[in-house]
Amino acid sequence: MTAAPASRLRAARTHRHPVVALVVFVVLTEVVGIAGATSTSRGHDWFTHLHQPSFAPPDWVFAPVWTTLYALIAVAAWMVWLHHRSWQRDVALRWWTLQLALNAAWTPLFFGARRPVWALADVAVLVVVAAITALRFLPFERRASALMLPYLGWLVFALTLNAAIVALN
C-alpha cells in the first residue's frame, strides 16, 4: 500500500476545515450580538426615557439588521481566512478582530454603563477600524471587502443616531 501524496492530503484537509472555520466565524460574531442584546435589555428602561431623534428606527429593527450584518462580516472574515496564511492576511484578520471587540464594547458602554458619550467615542473609532478592515480585505477578496460595506453603512447610521441622542440629552 502506498502513502497518499501530500498534495492530496492537503486537499482533503482543505475540504473539511473551511466549513468548520465558517461556522466558528459566524458563531463567534453572532455571540457578540447576543451578548449585546442581553445588555440592551438590562438598560432598556433607562433608554426609553431618553429623547430620541426623529429618524430613530423602532426597536424591532435592530435584531434582524444586526443579525444579518454579523453574518455578513463573519463570512467576509472567513473569505479572507481562506487565503494562504501571510502576515498581510493575519494583519487584516487582526483588524477584523479589533472591530469586533469595539462592536462588543458599544452596547455595555451605552446600555450597561449608561454612558452615551463613551459609546459615541467607541462607535467613532469602530467606524474607522471597520473601514480599515474593509480596505485590508480588499487585496485578498473583493467580495469580502464588499460584504463589509453594509456594516459600514449601518455603523455610520449608528454613529449619527448615537450623536443625536447625546445632543438631545
Could you tell me the residue ranges of all domains in the chain?
6-168
- Per-residue pLDDT at 35: 83
The answer on pLDDT for 12 being more than 80 is no
Q: Indicate the fold that domain 6-168 takes in CATH.
A: Ferritin (1.20.1260)
Task: Read off the C-alpha cell for 49.
Answer: 426615557
Query: How far apart are alpha carbons 99 and 70 in whole angstroms?
Result: 12
The answer on pLDDT for 129 being more than 80 is yes
- Per-residue pLDDT at 73: 96
Query: How far apart are alpha carbons 100 and 155 in whole angstroms?
Result: 12
Task: Read off the C-alpha cell for 67.
Answer: 443579525
Tell me whether residue 145 is exposed, middle or buried, using C-beta atoms within 10 angstroms of its C-beta: 0 to 12, 13 to 18, 19 or more.
buried
Residues 6+ apart with CB under 8 A from 68: 150
pTM across the whole model: 0.85
The answer on pLDDT for 102 being more than 70 is yes
The answer on pLDDT for 90 being more than 70 is yes
Provide the Cα torsion 75, 92, 139, 33; round to 10°: 30
The answer on pLDDT for 107 being more than 70 is yes
Query: How far apart are alpha carbons 158 and 152 in whole angstroms?
Result: 10
The answer on pLDDT for 3 being more than 60 is no
The three state secondary structure string of 66-123 is HHHHHHHHHHHHHHHHCCCCCHHHHHHHHHHHHHHHHHHHHHHHHHHCCCHHHHHHHH
- Per-residue pLDDT at 78: 96
Condensed to tens digits (0 to 9), the pLDDT of residues 46-89 reads 888 999 999 999 989 999 999 999 999 999 999 999 998 899 99
